Amino acid sequence: MSEDTYANAGRPASKAKLTELPAWHALTQHVQRMRRVHLRQLFAADTTRGERFSLQACGLYLDYAKNLITTETIDLLVSLANACGLPRQIEAMFTGQKINVSEDRAALHIALRAPRTQTILLDGHDVVAEVHAVLDRMTAFTSAVHRGEWRGYSGKRLRNVVNIGIGGSDLGPVMAYHALRQYASKEMVFRFISNVDGSDFLEATQDLDPAETLFIVCSKTFRTKETLTNAATAREWIVRSLGDERAVARHFVAVSTNVEAAAKFGIDARQLFGLWDWDGGRYSMDSAIGLSTMLAVGPENFRSMLGGFHAMDQHFRTVPLSRNLPVLMGLLSVWYNNFFDAQTAAVLPYAHDMQRFPAYLQQLTMESNGKHVTLDGAPIDYQTGPIYWGEPGTNGQHSFHQLLHQGTRMVPCDFIGFCRATHPIGNHQELLLANLFAQTEALAFGKTNDEVWAEGVPDWLVPHRVFEGNRPTNTLLADTLDPATLGALVALYEHSVFTQSTIWHIDAFDQWGVELGKSLAERTLAALAGSAAPGLDSSSRALIRYCRERREGHAG
C-alpha cells in the first residue's frame, strides 16, 4: 500500500501507533488524576459548569457537564483528534475519497441529504443529481399511492405497506416509523418483516387484505437470504390470494442496487428505486430504503428529515472540533472506552416513540466500529467499539437502572429527551422529563454515607442505601420529536461513530464479520436436510442430530 492511501492518511509521518502518540500518552497521565476526582467536586468548584459544558446546534442541546472531564480533558482529546488527522478525514469523507478501504469505496451518505443545488462528483458523476432523481421518483410514487392512482391488482386502494428487509434495510425504516408515527397517515397500516422466522411474516400479515397490501422489498444486494425468503413467501401470498402472477407488478416495489436480481423476482426497472455502492446499509434510512417512511409521513416531512440530517452534516464539517457536537460525543466515547475501560454504553431515549432507536444504534455503532484490525490491516492492541444497548425511559428505570446506579461497572449513558410531547395527553411529559433529569442527577451526585445516615437509616442498612454517584452521562434535549430533529439526531450519531473510527484508525464502513456465519449457515442448512457435512465439528453435528431426531419423532 502506498504512503498516499487513505489507510495512511492523517497519521504522522512516522505512522506511529495510536497508543504511541504523545496525545495518547498525555491522556493516559491525565486519567490518573481524573480517576480521583468526583463530579460533586467538579460542580462545587465551578457553579457555571452546567452552562460551560453545554452546546447547541441543529435544534439539539447537549449537556456534557455530568462527564468526568475538565477543560484540560477536552483539550487533550481534541489534540488526539488532531494527531489522528480528524479534520482531514472529515474532508475526505465529504469529498468522496475511498475511505471504505477494505471495499475500495467512498462512504458518501452525506450526499443522500445534500440539497439539489449542491454538486458532489464521484468518478465524474454528480451523485447529488442521481440522489434527487430517485427522491423525485419516490415522491411521485408516494403521491400516486396516497391519491389512489396506484392501486392493487383488483383495483382496491393500497392501505397496507409492508417493508421486507433486514439490518440496515429494516432497522432505519422501522425506527423512523415509530419515531415519527404522530406524523404518519392514520388511514394506512405499516408493518415491517425482517426475521426469517416465519412467525414474523405471519404476525405482520395475518390481519391484512392482500388486495390492499403493498410490499417494499428492501435489499441493497438483493442477495440476503432472510429477505429473499420473506419476499418469496409474500409473493406466494399475493399470487395465491389474487389468483394471478400479474398481481406481483402492482403489489411489489423494490429498493436495491441489483437490477437483475430484482427483475428475476418479477420487479421491473419502473418499480425499482436505486441505491449506490457508496452508501452502506446502516447509513441508508434517508435513501430509497426510507420509502416506507415517506409513504407514512409524506414527502414534505421526509424532506424535512433530510434537512435535519444536512444541517448536522454542515455542523460536523465546519465547526471547530472543540465545539462540534458529533466530535465531542465521539471523543467522550473514546475517553470512557479507552481510558476508563468502560465496556458498554447505554442509550436511553425518554420518548416511547424512540423505542427502536437503541436497536438502530446498535447496528450503526457496532457493525461500524466492531473491528479488530486497523485500516492498513495491522492487529489492534486497544479497545475499539463499545457494546451499545438501551431501552426507553422510564421503563428502564424499573429494570436495569439498578445496575447503572449501584453496580460495579461504569456504564456511560446518553439520555435523550424532548421538551414538548407530540401528543396532548395530560402531564405525562412533565413526569417523563422530571424522571430523566432526576436520573442524571442521581447518577452524577449519588447519596453519601452521611446523607443516608442523617435520614435515620439504621447503621447496618446504610451501605445498601448509599449511591456513590460519579457515573457519567450526556443529556441531549430537543424541542420536540419531529422529522428534522430525528434527521439531526441520526446524523449526530453517524458522525460520532466516524469520529471514533478515525481515532481507532479502523474502517467504519465494511462488515466482513457477518460473512462467516452466513456461509456456514448454507452448509448447516444442507446438514439439517440430511446431507453429509464433512468438516462439521462434533458439537454442531450433535445439535443437528438432536434436531433431526426431534423433528422426525414429531412427524412420526
**What is the CB neighbour count within 10 angstroms for residue 501?**
23
Q: Which of 186, 187, 372, 398 is catalytic?
A: 398
Question: What one-character-per-residue DSSP string does 239-286 give?
Answer: HHHH--GGGHHHHEEEEES-HHHHHHHT--GGGEEE--TTS-GGG-TT
Strand order in the sheet with 473-478: 54-57, 60-63, 473-478, 413-418, 344-349, 387-389
- Helices 86-94 and 483-504 cross at an angle (nearest 10°) of 130
User: Binding segment for ligand F6P among 160-168, 452-460, 486-494, 543-551 (CB under 6 A)?
Assistant: 160-168
C-alpha 214: how far from its chain's center? 26
Instruction: Please list the residues that pair with 61 across neighbouring strands.
Output: 56, 477
Cα(145)–Cα(157) distance, rounded to whole angstroms? 8
Closer CB to ligand F6P, 293 or 475, in the complex? 293
Active-site annotation holds for 518 = yes
Closer CB to ligand F6P, 334 or 366, in the complex? 366
Closer CB to ligand F6P, 123 or 515, in the complex? 515
**What is the CB neighbour count within 10 angstroms for residue 375?**
25
CB of 276 to ligand F6P, least distance (A): 13
Is residue 121 classed as helix, strand or coil in its secondary structure?
A: strand
User: Is residue 219 a contact point for ligand F6P (CB under 6 A)?
Assistant: yes
- Alpha helices by DSSP H, listed for 97-224, are 127-146, 171-179, 198-205
Are 141 and 200 a contacting pair, CB within 8 Å?
Answer: no
CB of 261 to ligand F6P, least distance (A): 10
Cα(384)–Cα(155) distance, rounded to whole angstroms? 54
**Beta strands, E only, 339-399:** 344-349, 387-389
User: Binding segment for ligand F6P among 15-23, 162-170, 411-419, 498-506 (CB under 6 A)?
Assistant: 162-170
Closer CB to ligand F6P, 201 or 350, in the complex? 201
Segment 60-79, which members bind ligand F6P (CB under 6 A)? none
On the 0-12 / 13-18 / 19+ scale of CB atoms within 10 A, 498 is: buried
CB of 538 to ligand F6P, least distance (A): 28
Are 204 and 165 a contacting pair, CB within 8 Å?
Answer: no
Are 303 and 297 a contacting pair, CB within 8 Å?
Answer: no
User: Is residue 224 a contact point for ligand F6P (CB under 6 A)?
Assistant: yes
**What is the CB neighbour count within 10 angstroms for residue 434?**
13
User: Is residue 109 a contact point for ligand F6P (CB under 6 A)?
Assistant: no
Is residue 217 classed as helix, strand or coil in its secondary structure?
A: strand
Segment 339-368, which members bind ligand F6P (CB under 6 A)? 367
Active-site annotation holds for 178 = no
Closer CB to ligand F6P, 167 or 299, in the complex? 167
CB of 167 to ligand F6P, least distance (A): 3
33-38: long-range contacts (C-beta < 8 A, 24 or more apart)? 34/68, 34/69, 34/70, 34/73, 35/340, 37/68, 37/70, 38/469, 38/470
Are 136 and 291 a contacting pair, CB within 8 Å?
Answer: no
CB of 422 to ligand F6P, least distance (A): 28
Closer CB to ligand F6P, 74 or 166, in the complex? 166
Cα(56)–Cα(233) distance, rounded to whole angstroms? 48
CB of 489 to ligand F6P, least distance (A): 20
Closer CB to ligand F6P, 169 or 338, in the complex? 169
* In the complex, residue closest to ligand F6P by CB: 281
User: Binding segment for ligand F6P among 67-75, 221-229, 405-413, 433-441 (CB under 6 A)?
Assistant: 221-229
- Of 167, 358, 446, 472, the one binding ligand F6P (CB under 6 A) is 167
Q: Which of 66, 220, 226, 367 is catalytic?
A: 367
User: Is residue 220 a contact point for ligand F6P (CB under 6 A)?
Assistant: yes
Are 197 and 144 a contacting pair, CB within 8 Å?
Answer: no
- Of 59, 96, 152, 168, the one binding ligand F6P (CB under 6 A) is 168
User: Is residue 166 a contact point for ligand F6P (CB under 6 A)?
Assistant: yes
The position carrying cell 442448512 is: 525
User: Is residue 511 a contact point for ligand F6P (CB under 6 A)?
Assistant: yes
The position carrying cell 434535549 is: 477
- Of 89, 160, 227, 337, the one binding ligand F6P (CB under 6 A) is 227
- Of 139, 143, 154, 221, the one binding ligand F6P (CB under 6 A) is 221
Q: Which of 236, 300, 518, 552 is catalytic?
A: 518
CB of 171 to ligand F6P, least distance (A): 8
User: Is residue 514 a contact point for ligand F6P (CB under 6 A)?
Assistant: yes
> How many chain residues are in contact with ligand F6P, going by CB under 6 A?
14
Closer CB to ligand F6P, 230 or 429, in the complex? 230
CB of 540 to ligand F6P, least distance (A): 21
User: Is residue 172 a contact point for ligand F6P (CB under 6 A)?
Assistant: no
Closer CB to ligand F6P, 459 or 515, in the complex? 515
Rounded to whole angstroms, what are the CA distances from 360 to 66, 75, 174, 230? 25, 31, 9, 21
Segment 280-309, which members bind ligand F6P (CB under 6 A)? 281-282
Binding residues for ligand F6P, rule: CB under 6 A, are 166-169, 219-221, 224, 227, 281-282, 367, 511, 514
Catalytic center residues: 367, 398, 518
